[in-house]
Amino acid sequence: MTVEFVFLLALGAIAGGFVNGLAGFGTALFALGFWLQIMPPVQAVLVVLSMSVLTGIQGAVYVRKSIRWPRLGRFLVPALFGIPIGTALVAWIEPGPLKVLIAGFMILYGLFFAFRRELPTLDGPRPMIEGGIGFVGGVLGGLAGLSGALPTMWCAMRPWPKAEQRAVLQPYNIAVQAIAIVLFLFKGVFDRDTLIALAIVAPFSLVAAQMGLMVFKRLDDSQFRRLLIVLMLVSGALLMARELLLA
């Protein structure tokens, strides 16, 4: 294990951990750019999923009092049915072009809303839409590892306080990613090298997530909504660049 290997591991952990602590999602989109340079894809994804869950727990604990279980359930329960459908579709649909399509949608969404003076607000109960978003997010999570994209876009348009938005996004992502880890465990793909990488990145990720959480506490509700939209734009650009460069 070289110094360069450890350095890139640490950079990915810091980038992914900070964004997760700040926004409640984004570990994979910001860390994989570093880790795919030094690890096989399956190993990099395993480390990302593990760190996303580990750092996400800190944020979930912070907003635990803001969790509205019926609201969270509207997203999460349908997602549980969507995940196995997504994993089954892997044999039939090539994830690469799908990721490019979703990245393009994220970029358009971010460009359209990020620079508007006033953000649109979707008021009122919309349980059917939220259930559909949760389900599609679960399918995309099982198929392409993009479970958080649609829920994040939706929450950024809702007039919920920042803690309540995060109280949807963080537990939702943790649950979907934890299920993915369990599926990997059953496949027996956790090896010695993966465990060593996890041991290296864990402290960097946890500290960076705490720093991101400190910034999150200083944001007001409007700033947090705009942050989610800007991160959608940046995340879409990163995903698009990675998919096109690896194609």
Question: Which pLDDT does position 87 carry in this prediction?
Answer: 81
Q: Are 145 and 86 in contact (CB under 8 A)?
A: no
- The CA-CA-CA angle for residues 134, 136, 142, to 5°, reads 105
Percent of the chain with pLDDT over 70: 99
pLDDT at 192: 87
At 80, list the tokens. 């549980």
The mean predicted confidence, pLDDT, of the chain is 89
Res. 15: pLDDT tops 90: yes
Nearest by Cα to 209 from 4, 40, 13: 13
Q: Domain-by-domain residue ranges, the chain?
A: 3-246
Looking at the predicted structure, is the pLDDT value of residue 109 above 80? yes
Cα–chain center distance at 38:
21
Q: How many CB atoms lie within 10 A of CB 143?
A: 23
pLDDT digits (tens, 9 = 90+) for 162-210: 999 999 999 999 999 898 888 878 877 788 888 999 999 999 999 999 9
Summarize pLDDT for 23-65 with one digit per residue, the tens.
Answer: 988 888 888 888 888 888 888 888 988 999 999 999 999 999 9
Q: How far apart are CA 186 and CA 207, in angstroms?
A: 30
Lowest average pLDDT, out of 3-12, 41-50, 210-219, 220-229, goes to 41-50
Mean pLDDT of 146-150: 86
Identity of the amino acid at 220: D
**pLDDT at position 247:** 60
Percent of the chain with pLDDT over 90: 49
Residue 116 pLDDT greater than 90, yes or no: no
Question: Which band of pLDDT confidence, cut at 50, 70 and 90, is reported for residue 140?
Answer: confident
CA distance 111 to 177: 28
Which residues have CB under 8 Å from 55's CB, separation 6+? Answer: 16, 17, 20, 21, 27, 205, 206, 208, 209
